[in-house]
Amino acid sequence: MLLEVRDLQVEFRTRDGVAKAVNGVSYEVDAGETLAVLGESGSGKSVTAQAIMGILDVPPGRITGGQILFEGRDLLKLKEEERRRVRGAQMAMIFQDALSSLNPVLSVGEQLAEMFTVHRGLSRKDARLRAIELMDRVRIPAAKERVRQFPHQFSGGMRQRIMIAMALALEPKLIIADEPTTALDVTVQAQVMDLLAELQRELHMGLILITHDLGVVADVADRIAVMYAGRIVETAPVHEIYRAPAHPYTQGLLDSIPRLDQKGRELYAIKGLPPNLMHIPPGCAFNPRCPRARDVCRADEPPLYRVSDDRHSACHFWEETIDASSR
């Protein structure tokens, strides 16, 4: 197994109290596999990714428990210098806001070349040639000329391609893409996702795709993990999720996707708001918003029930949910 996250727990200490941003998350990704991590803002998706990469803001954040195993090594036990050698060379991250992630006063060529001068010891000339090769690889036209340009001279879609190029520079074994299509129009979203999928197949990398949009991952993910209030509430192969979700929250996310066969109907929205992570309600965290909530849901926190060999749901009534969603 390439990556195993086991019972990861992350909290943020603030003046108002302790927020449990990640509360016992476990998932795994193998080489060549794509895992999509879904959920609304504040569900803990990005914080989990930051903990994996070792870029969590400490303080106020801190990892209070769990393991992050990369090729069998627990990253949480490595010294910072060892962790730095893993980061970039063996695992890389694509951030959602390319413009703020790129340095505005350096050309994109300089920023790409830096990966090779720092990590591979190449000369500036050779590193620049590699930067041009990378820009060609992610299909940026006229790469030889544009390598001298600055981030603000590129469109949003082209900047995101540069971020992908930076992540791919050292050919890592794992890439984490955090909302890589945010703020892009639908056509450019499709192009970026197709590019990511193609490069992943070519390099046989593991890919963790973080998003709130089930529509984005339908054609690229192998498995899906749905997060809510810092926990995994459902995991399943992608086709099982779309066929019949086993958690009411997943069902709500699916119902929120616009569909061609429902033209003219009001778009469904999950009622209420995600809970305050400093005051997560007892029982199932989703119970105040769940149309199927009962007394047991308000009292007992559901474990991840085993639905099948490769599917789990944190719902006391997962069988009813599957039956209702498959009709």
What does the domain layout of the chain look like in residue ranges?
3-325
Take residue 113 and report the two structure tokens written for it: 């070349």
| pLDDT tens-place values along the chain, 327 residues long | 899 999 999 999 988 889 999 999 999 999 999 999 999 888 999 999 999 999 998 888 999 999 999 999 999 999 988 888 888 789 999 987 777 889 999 999 999 999 899 888 899 999 999 999 999 989 899 999 999 999 999 988 889 889 989 988 888 999 999 988 776 777 788 888 888 888 888 889 999 999 887 777 888 899 999 999 999 999 999 999 999 999 999 999 988 877 766 676 777 888 888 999 999 999 999 999 998 899 999 999 999 999 998 999 999 999 999 988 776
Q: What is the fold, at CATH topology level, of the domain defined by 3-325?
A: Rossmann fold (3.40.50)
Residue in the structure block whose two tokens are 């303080």 = 59
Take residue 222 and report the two structure tokens written for it: 């192998």
What ranges make up the beta strands (E) of 73-150? 73-74, 91-94
Q: What is the pLDDT of residue 88?
A: 79
Q: What is the pLDDT of residue 183?
A: 67
Measured between alpha carbons, how far is residue 36 from residues 18, 40, 137, 234, 242 in Å?
Answer: 28, 13, 24, 12, 13
Q: What is the pLDDT of residue 76?
A: 94
What pTM was estimated for this model as a whole?
0.91
In angstroms, how far is the first alpha carbon of the chain from the final one?
36
Q: Would you call 208 helix, strand, or coil by DSSP? A: strand
Which amino acid does the sequence have at 231?
A: R
Q: What is the pLDDT of residue 327?
A: 65
Cα distance between residue 273 and residue 77, in whole Å = 37
Q: What is the pLDDT of residue 260?
A: 67
Helix 156-168 vs helix 124-137: angle between axes, to the nearest 10 degrees? 120
Cα distance between residue 114 and residue 125, in whole Å = 11
Q: What is the pLDDT of residue 261?
A: 67
Q: Check if the beta carbon of residue 316 is closer than 8 Å to that of residue 248.
A: no
